[in-house]
């Protein structure tokens, strides 16, 4: 029987994960021999289970909630973007036996917005909703695109302000409460909150989108999210969910592990079809 390199995604919950389907498609497309599975890890057991995976010959892991901080602590070496984000979503076994940690979320978002959707980030006024792990993972790569300004809005203003302090050397970035958004206007709004999962919506004022403003929800599903429906009602020029980001961040992980970059477009279409099946 042919031996295949072993990869997995660790999370809790993880049953909903599309990562096995995505990486199977990448492997088939690029002729790579690997197995990839989803594994639910009990809370408090991440380091133990990850150590076992690598000691038994595992080559790489994707990490989803709630273990990205655990993975950050677990890695022997960190990429610059993982260090800035304070979180790791990709672990890779190195030739010397050490574990390399990276964060591909932000570059996945930027690739989807810029390359796939064709939206401009350079020189734009960008609003990021939420100051949790999702926002933290994307701020560095977004600021690297040299937007005119990035504002992080959060229910707790202190959390937003503490987050932007970590990135203020990279560009013009500030934080505020949702109440502080009154009278402001943006070219792109990125929803980094989990509100879409609960059918909720951050309290956003009317006319906050510019005439050619776009809206991007990092969440995705078979139907438009509440945030996407709000943006369409606000006459957004374009609206997207985060499925492309999911596939793009996975492609970056795959490239780190295998040294080859898959074509993401057919895989986005494949996963989109599976959502509506």
Q: Is 215 annotated as a binding residue?
A: no
Q: Is 10 annotated as a binding residue?
A: no
Token pair 């477009």 is at which residue?
A: 265
Could you tell me how far CA 18 lies from the centroid of its own chain?
A: 14
Q: Is 132 annotated as a binding residue?
A: yes
Q: Is 157 annotated as a binding residue?
A: yes
**Is residue 119 within 8 Å of residue 143, measured between CB atoms?**
no
- Whose CA is closest to 64, among 34, 86, 41? 41
**Is residue 210 within 8 Å of residue 241, measured between CB atoms?**
no
In this structure, the chain runs to a length of: 277
Catalytic residue among 4, 15, 68, 73: 68
Q: Is 196 annotated as a binding residue?
A: no
The Cα–Cα gap between 67 and 244 comes to 22
Q: Is 18 annotated as a binding residue?
A: yes
Could you tell me how far CA 42 lies from the centroid of its own chain?
A: 22
Q: Is 123 annotated as a binding residue?
A: no
* CA distances (Å), origin 6, targets 12, 55, 63, 77, 208: 20, 12, 15, 21, 47
Q: Is 133 annotated as a binding residue?
A: yes
Could you tell me how far CA 113 lies from the centroid of its own chain?
A: 12
Q: Is 130 annotated as a binding residue?
A: yes
Coil, helix or strand for 135?
Answer: helix
Q: Is 170 annotated as a binding residue?
A: no
Q: Is 159 annotated as a binding residue?
A: yes
Q: Is 51 annotated as a binding residue?
A: no
Using alpha carbons only, give the angle 99, 21, 25 rounded to the nearest 5 degrees: 90
Query: Does 223 qualify as catalytic in the annotation?
Result: no
Q: Is 249 annotated as a binding residue?
A: yes
- Count how many Cα atoms sit within 13 Å of the Cα of residue 67 in the half-sphere of its side chain: 29
Torsion of CA 161, 152, 191, 177, to 10 degrees: 70
Q: Is 19 annotated as a binding residue?
A: yes
Q: Is 77 annotated as a binding residue?
A: no
**Is residue 136 within 8 Å of residue 180, measured between CB atoms?**
no
Which residues does the annotation place in the binding site for shikimate?
17-19, 64, 89, 105, 220, 249
Which residues does the annotation place in the binding site for NADP(+)?
130-134, 154-159, 218, 242
Which residues does the annotation place in the binding site?
17-19, 64, 89, 105, 130-134, 154-159, 218, 220, 242, 249
Positions marked catalytic? 68
């Amino acid at each position: 029987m042919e031996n295949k390199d072993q990869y997995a995604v660790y999370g809790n919950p993880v049953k909903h994960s599309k990562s096995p389907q995505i990486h199977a498609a990448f492997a088939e497309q690029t002729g790579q021999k690997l197995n990839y599975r989803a594994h639910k890890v009990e809370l408090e057991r991440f380091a133990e289970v990850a150590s076992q995976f690598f000691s038994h010959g595992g080559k790489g892991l994707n990490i989803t909630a709630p273990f990205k901080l655990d993975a950050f602590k677990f890695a022997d070496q960190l990429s610059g973007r993982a260090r800035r984000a304070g979180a790791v979503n990709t672990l890779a076994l190195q030739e010397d036996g050490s574990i390399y940690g990276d964060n591909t979320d932000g570059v996945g978002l930027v690739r989807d917005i810029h390359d796939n959707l064709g939206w401009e980030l350079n020189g734009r006024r960008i609003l990021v909703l939420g100051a949790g792990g999702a926002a933290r993972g994307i701020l560095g790569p977004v600021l690297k695109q040299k937007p005119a300004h990035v504002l992080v809005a959060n229910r707790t203003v202190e959390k937003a302000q503490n987050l932007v302090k970590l990135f203020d050397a990279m560009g013009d970035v500030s934080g505020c409460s949702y109440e502080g958004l009154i009278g402001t206007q943006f070219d792109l709004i990125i929803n980094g909150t989990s509100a879409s999962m609960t059918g909720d919506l951050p309290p956003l004022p009317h006319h906050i989108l510019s005439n050619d403003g776009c809206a991007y929800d990092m969440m995705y599903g078979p139907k438009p999210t509440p945030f996407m429906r709000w943006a369409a009602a606000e006459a957004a020029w374009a609206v997207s969910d985060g499925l492309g980001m999911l596939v793009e961040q996975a492609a970056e992980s795959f490239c780190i592990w295998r040294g080859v970059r898959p074509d993401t477009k057919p895989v986005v279409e494949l996963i989109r079809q599976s959502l509506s099946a």
